């Protein structure tokens, strides 16, 4: 027998099959989806490849497969071929998305339950002193020491992967007494230490029941159908998800719930643990270690986990008997991969749901405009609407402040007079405040502080981005560039500025204006460590911190009943990012922000 093997390389010319004889001893166990090692080219080095077809003979003189590594399902190979054709990428790149994490040859240590963890042996102050004085000169060594400082307990393969260094450099640091090795027996379950009280189903209101029954009917009939659950924030979408997943469990099937990486909050996972317990749930997202992802993947493959909660990549989990796919916050751009293969998780989910004959449920308070159009016109998607908050809470009042007027009145602060007054009132009443700064897709652009005019590309009508090293304005769509503008072409004011405010600067201003208030900042700089996202949110909730300052992370997927004020700094700035969907995305984030607070 002959296997058609695709080599695991990114080169476009290798995106084709090569024939290899299957050894007699492997004929019974090699299947479509097998990962194999094969001799390739003139050297003796073996290359990793995937069997994507099997036939009786070859027209070429071919070599023999050297070793069978592992198997994935034939339907996953079919999915990989479909993705490669749709997204114009290599089949092998798509197959890699479906492999158990930690199964590459250099990651073999990750599969062992007993692992060697690396810790700092010397005090961090002593290490920093030696770096400053030049005792430690190697950039690689410094990079490893800084990585371990933030990630103590990492394994050598993880250090190699995330610092682009070698085992030899780690061993040198161990030999010189900077690092130490601790052997540990581990249970790599990311939710093992969570202690959550069990809860029962909540009673659905009339709108929720109508939505639930329509989807439940499709589950019972084992049919594919797409739904858009369009409901205001707090309308009880998550409770519908939970009860649908319960129905899927009753028919002994599995569920996939996708959430955007940025809103993969502990609160969502906690609600599912409270209802279903830890044993049935697997969690997949990028903040887990490779070892944790490996174990969660194996748990799904062995059918021990029936509920998979995760970010975009969880759609490729090796689920047996899929009963429903749910995509929460379906409008979020993180469902589209920005690295190869550049797939859209919603399109992949639709393909998988069709093949598995199960419903696909998309949920959002601010749906993607394409999805919303299809649902409104009843094209492929059925629209289900929730118009009321589940707990009968009223929506908060929204107030828009014109900063041009504030500036004219002599207020040069980042806070308007109204926002300052409301924060002061909240501090007196011991309620909480969130201050949000929209930095999604942030790039420096030029805007007139007098009239609000933004300098845009003459071809694309997209704001030009300021490049400081060339002192030029450039369009990231067509490549048009021009000199920096110093006078507004609209109102001829000289108050034209590079626009951009950071969360750190905002935090400093808040501390200056409200010295007695307790503050927390949550952005990419403060959530670098593992679990820091969860720790900041818990601290804000449990320690009654007065003001939480941050980017999108602070306003998505959270429920803070003590938050009675949300302030958005420069709310319209995201209209000017270099993105043709800037207005749609601004509407989506501001609508969600507006519904984060609970009426005072």
Helix 156-163 and helix 167-175, axial crossing angle in degrees, nearest 10: 120
Question: What pLDDT is attached to residue 200?
Answer: 81
Structure-derived torsion over alpha carbons of residues 470, 475, 481, 487, reported in degrees to the nearest 10: -80
Fill in the DSSP letter of residue 122: S
Provide CB contacts within 8 A for 285, sequence distance 6+: 261, 264, 310, 311, 313, 314
Give the mean pLDDT of the chain: 85
Distance CA 436, CA 593 (A): 8
Provide CB contacts within 8 A for 518, sequence distance 6+: 543, 544, 545, 546, 547
Distance CA 382, CA 405 (A): 45
Question: What pLDDT is attached to residue 466?
Answer: 77
Helix 237-250 and helix 266-276, axial crossing angle in degrees, nearest 10: 40
Question: What pLDDT is attached to residue 441?
Answer: 37
Lay out the sheet containing 465-467: strands in order across.
Answer: 465-467, 472-474, 481-483
pLDDT at 336 exceeding the cut of 70: yes
pLDDT at 115 exceeding the cut of 80: no
Distance CA 378, CA 375 (A): 5
Question: What pLDDT is attached to residue 379?
Answer: 84
**Residue 126: how many other CB atoms lie within 10 Å:** 12
CB-CB contact of 466 with 597 (8 Å): no
pLDDT tens readout for residues 387-400: 887 766 677 788 99
Q: What is the mean pLDDT of residues 43-50?
A: 87
The band of 164, judged by pLDDT with boundaries at 50, 70 and 90, is confident
Question: What pLDDT is attached to residue 442?
Answer: 40
Chain centroid to CA 281? 19
Burial of 17 (0-12, 13-18, 19+ CB in 10 A): middle
* Beta pairing, strands 547-550 & 519-522: parallel
pLDDT tens readout for residues 233-265: 778 899 999 999 999 999 999 999 999 865 556
Q: Which comes out higher in pLDDT, residue 309 or 101?
A: 309
- Find the length of the chain: 600
Both structure tokens of 584 = 């749609």
Question: What pLDDT is attached to residue 547?
Answer: 93
Both structure tokens of 293 = 């992802």
pLDDT at 133 exceeding the cut of 70: yes
Fill in the DSSP letter of residue 97: T
Question: What pLDDT is attached to residue 192?
Answer: 59
| CA proximity to 326, closest of 207, 218, 194, 251 | 218
Question: What pLDDT is attached to residue 31?
Answer: 92
pLDDT tens readout for residues 398-432: 899 988 888 788 887 878 999 999 999 999 999 99
* Domains, the chain, with CATH or none: 2-99 (3.40.1440.60), 114-185 (no CATH), 206-386 (3.40.50.300), 395-442+500-600 (3.40.50.300), 444-499 (no CATH)
Question: What pLDDT is attached to residue 195?
Answer: 64
Q: What angle do CA 97, 103, 106 make, to 5 degrees?
A: 115
pLDDT tens readout for residues 59-96: 998 999 999 988 888 999 999 999 999 999 999 999 99
Strand partners, 254: 322
Q: How far apart are the first and last CA of the chain?
A: 73
For 99, 317, 335, the CA distances from 314, given in Å and listed in that order, are: 12, 5, 11
| CA proximity to 422, closest of 591, 543, 561, 564 | 564
Burial of 144 (0-12, 13-18, 19+ CB in 10 A): buried
Can you give the pTM of this predicted structure?
0.74
Which single residue is written with the structure tokens 């501090």?
427
């Amino acid at each position: 027998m002959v296997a058609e093997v695709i080599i695991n390389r990114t080169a476009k010319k290798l995106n084709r099959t090569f024939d290899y004889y299957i050894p007699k001893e492997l004929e019974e166990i090699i299947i479509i989806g097998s990962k194999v090692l094969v001799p390739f080219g003139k050297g003796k080095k073996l290359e990793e490849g995937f069997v994507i077809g099997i036939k009786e003979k070859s027209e070429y003189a071919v070599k023999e497969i050297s070793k069978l590594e592992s198997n994935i399902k034939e339907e996953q190979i079919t999915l990989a071929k479909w993705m490669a054709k749709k997204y114009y990428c290599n089949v092998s790149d798509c197959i890699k998305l479906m492999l158990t994490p930690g199964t590459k040859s250099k990651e073999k240590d990750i599969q062992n339950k007993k692992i060697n963890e690396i810790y700092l042996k010397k005090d961090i102050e002593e290490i920093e002193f030696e770096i400053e004085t030049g005792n430690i000169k190697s950039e690689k060594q410094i990079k490893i020491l800084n990585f371990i400082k933030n990630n103590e307990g990492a394994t050598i393969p993880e250090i190699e992967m995330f610092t682009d260094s070698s085992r030899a450099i780690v061993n040198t640091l161990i030999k010189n007494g900077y690092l130490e090795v601790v052997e540990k027996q581990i249970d790599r379950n990311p939710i093992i230490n969570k202690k959550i009280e069990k809860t029962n189903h909540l009673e659905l209101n009339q709108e929720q029941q109508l939505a639930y029954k329509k989807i439940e009917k499709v589950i019972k009939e084992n049919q594919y159908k797409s739904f858009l659950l369009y409901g205001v924030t707090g309308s009880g979408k998550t409770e519908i998800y939970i009860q649908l997943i319960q129905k899927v469990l009753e028919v002994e099937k599995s569920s996939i719930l996708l959430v955007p990486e940025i809103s993969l909050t502990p609160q969502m996972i906690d609600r599912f643990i409270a209802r279903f317990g830890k044993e049935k749930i697997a969690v997949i997202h990028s903040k887990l270690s490779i070892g944790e992802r490996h174990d969660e993947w194996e748990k799904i493959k062995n059918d021990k986990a029936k509920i998979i909660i995760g970010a975009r990549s969880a759609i490729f989990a090796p689920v047996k008997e899929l009963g429903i796919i749910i995509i929460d916050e379906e409008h979020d751009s993180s469902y589209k991969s920005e690295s190869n293969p550049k797939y859209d998780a919603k399109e992949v989910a639709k393909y998988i749901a069709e093949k598995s004959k199960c419903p696909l449920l998309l949920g959002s308070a601010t749906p993607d405009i394409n999805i919303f159009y299809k649902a409104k016109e009843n094209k492929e998607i059925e629209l289900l609407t929730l118009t009321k908050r589940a707990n009968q809470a009223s929506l908060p009042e929204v107030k828009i402040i014109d900063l041009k007027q504030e500036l004219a009145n002599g207020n040069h602060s980042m806070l308007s007079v109204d926002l300052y007054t409301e924060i002061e009132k909240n501090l007196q009443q011991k309620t909480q405040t969130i201050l949000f700064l929209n930095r999604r897709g942030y790039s420096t652009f030029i805007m007139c502080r007098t009239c609000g005019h933004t300098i845009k590309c003459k071809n694309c009508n997209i704001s030009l981005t300021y490049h400081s090293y060339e002192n030029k304005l450039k369009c990231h769509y067509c490549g048009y560039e021009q000199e920096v503008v110093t006078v507004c072409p609209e109102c001829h004011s000289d108050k034209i500025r590079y626009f951009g405010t950071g969360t750190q600067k905002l935090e400093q201003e808040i501390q200056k204006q409200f010295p007695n208030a307790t503050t927390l900042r949550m952005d990419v700089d403060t959530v670098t460590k593992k679990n820091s996202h969860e720790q900041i949110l818990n601290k804000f909730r449990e320690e009654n911190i007065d003001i939480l300052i941050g980017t999108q992370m602070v306003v998505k997927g959270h429920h803070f009943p003590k938050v009675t004020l949300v302030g958005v700094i420069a709310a319209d700035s995201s209209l000017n990012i270099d993105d043709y969907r800037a207005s749609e995305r601004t509407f989506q984030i501001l609508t969600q922000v507006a519904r984060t607070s609970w009426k005072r």
